[in-house]
Structure 1
Amino acid sequence: MSGPVALVTGAAGGLGTAVLAALDHDGFTVVGVDVAPVAGRCAESHRVDVRDGAALRELAADVVARHGRLDAVVAAAAVMDGGTPLWETPDEVVDELWDVDARGVWNTARACVPHLLASPDPRQARFVAIASAAGEHGMFGLAAYTVAKHAVVGVVRGLAADLVGTGVAAVAVSPGAMRTPMLTRTAELYGLEGEAGVAELASHQGLRRALDPTEVARVVALACSPAGAALNGSVVNADGGFGL
């Protein structure tokens, strides 16, 4: 058997890339997954769309066949769109956000959790989904995104209930404003541009600055660690004090 193996979706940029580095630092053999090329610190990468459940199941089985185990899964793949009130939000925006941000986490769990249960020590196995401050708060002009991220929290809580007694832990990590392309995109949806727009969004956090993805990635790595068992079924608000 090799050392612990982790699979990370949404690995081509932003928080996903930072998570690759954090888990690599912690001794995981890391498999990066994205629809775009993955250039971060990982042992191998694969171009897979999280909307394709069959492809994810095939990939997870292949990873286990080659590495002998799967110990941690981080479902970080997500997209951002919006900028209009709920009643003006186009159906295609709702469909994409639901299919990638919510159903993508469901697909990832369905593909990977059976392998976590079969890991050499399920008590050390972790499923971590990236939610958002929008998983707890309503966001102006981002109703569809808010719905999708609330669903991510629901997936984790339902999964944790299903995993009772198995030793495997399921955790949601909810970042606030991070200095990533998604934050820039969010600012644009609000008509805010450049560094001033990013600063305006970050001003809603108690830290009064945007988080660096590496800061949130360390929280994700904690959730993937042996100590992460204590977080089972929880939503960890790594949001710099959103709303303070």
Structure 2
Amino acid sequence: MEHKDRHAIVTGGGTGIGLGIALALAGAGAQVTITGRDERRLASVAAMHPRLHALGMDVSSEASVRDGVDQAADARGPVSICIANAGIAEPASFRSETLAHWRETMTTNLDGVFLTFQAALSTLGREEWGRMIAISSIAGLRGLKGASAYTASKHGVIGLVRALSEEHLGAEITFNAICPGYVDTPIVDRNAEQIAKSQKMSAEDARDLLARGNRHKRLLGTDEVTATALWLCSSAARSVNGQSIQIAGGQVS
């Protein structure tokens, strides 16, 4: 119960990596606000644990984020753990990339982290304890073919984390990014369906193709990312700051 009475927010907390982290933090004693756009889904997930609390919030909307975080802080206290997980991953080759898709990706993946961190920090004093974690990607460390917007947005997330860690050196608040490879989540399922359709292959072969993008040639489990997030939130990681933790079955950069 290391995080008993602490308040955590997990954006995109209704599925995949976000759900795994939210459940783990709740199990460690935190009161966890899970956010997302699908309020029905969030409500069903919140029923899984008494310390999960659903909040409809769209990270691409400044008003939604600021109002949502304020509402959560009023109900459960300052946000001492913030997991900026919400994001989108829609592939597109650069030649076919549209400005609308580019801006949607940046707004969700990069602006969303900026807004979530800034709103969460506004609930804390500068000397208070805090853990701010962004879920980036191996695409934040290297180029990803056919996903220029996604790659650029995830590079931006890592740059933001590094800048914030420097701004808060010596404080009790740390900033880190987790950079997973391909994780067995609904996002991978959707991408596999698109690949299967475009490449005229089976869904299973498409999943295998994605798995080969990880150095050990298999999809990651959400529990691997969850364990890393819990460690970064622990007292054992109090000197880990401004880092990009790779989880991809081998070296990627």
TM-score by length of 2: 0.87
- Give the one of 35, 38, 50 matched to 1:36: 38
* Distance in 2 (alpha carbons) for counterparts of 1:183 and 1:229: 32
In the other structure, the counterpart of 2:139 is: 134
- Give the one of 98, 101, 107 matched to 1:99: 107
In the other structure, the counterpart of 1:167 is: 172
In the other structure, the counterpart of 2:18 is: 16
Shift of 1:66: 2.2
- Give the one of 216, 236, 245 matched to 1:207: 216
Shift of 1:154: 1.1
| Partner AA of 2:59 in structure 1 | V
* Distance in 1 (alpha carbons) for counterparts of 2:215 and 2:245: 16
2:77 is the counterpart of 1:71:
no
CA contact (8 A) 1:204 1:243 kept: no
| Partner AA of 2:162 in structure 1 | R
| Partner AA of 2:118 in structure 1 | R
- Give the one of 95, 102, 119 matched to 1:87: 95
TM-score by length of 1: 0.90
List per-residue Cα deviations over 1:118-150 (Å, max 9, x = no partner).
6xx723x10000000100010111011000100
List per-residue Cα deviations over 1:187-240 (Å, max 9, x = no partner).
345446412211221123233211111221111111122223222110111222
List per-residue Cα deviations over 1:55-112 (Å, max 9, x = no partner).
222222222222233210000000111232x132112210111000111001101111
In the other structure, the counterpart of 2:62 is: 53
Is the alpha carbon distance of 1:243 and 1:164 closer, same or farther for their aligned partners in structure 2, counting shifts above 3 Å?
closer
* Distance in 1 (alpha carbons) for counterparts of 2:251 and 2:20: 21
User: Could you list the runs of 5+ residues in structure 2 that have no partner in the other structure?
Assistant: none
- SS in structure 2 at match of 1:219: helix
In the other structure, the counterpart of 2:188 is: 183
CA contact (8 A) 1:79 1:101 kept: yes
CA contact (8 A) 1:179 1:213 kept: yes
- Give the one of 109, 128, 138 matched to 1:122: 128
User: Could you list the runs of 5+ residues in structure 1 that have no partner in the other structure?
Assistant: none
The root-mean-square deviation of aligned C-alpha atoms, in Å, is 2.0
| Partner AA of 2:144 in structure 1 | M
| Partner AA of 2:128 in structure 1 | P
Shift of 1:243: 4.7
Shift of 1:51: 1.3
* Distance in 2 (alpha carbons) for counterparts of 1:60 and 1:242: 36
Is the alpha carbon distance of 1:28 and 1:193 closer, same or farther for their aligned partners in structure 2, counting shifts above 3 Å?
farther
Identity over aligned pairs, percent: 27
CA contact (8 A) 1:53 1:111 kept: no
CA contact (8 A) 1:23 1:221 kept: yes
| Partner AA of 2:53 in structure 1 | E
Shift of 1:13: 1.0
CA contact (8 A) 1:36 1:47 kept: yes
List per-residue Cα deviations over 1:16-60 (Å, max 9, x = no partner).
111111111221111100011313345211111001222222222
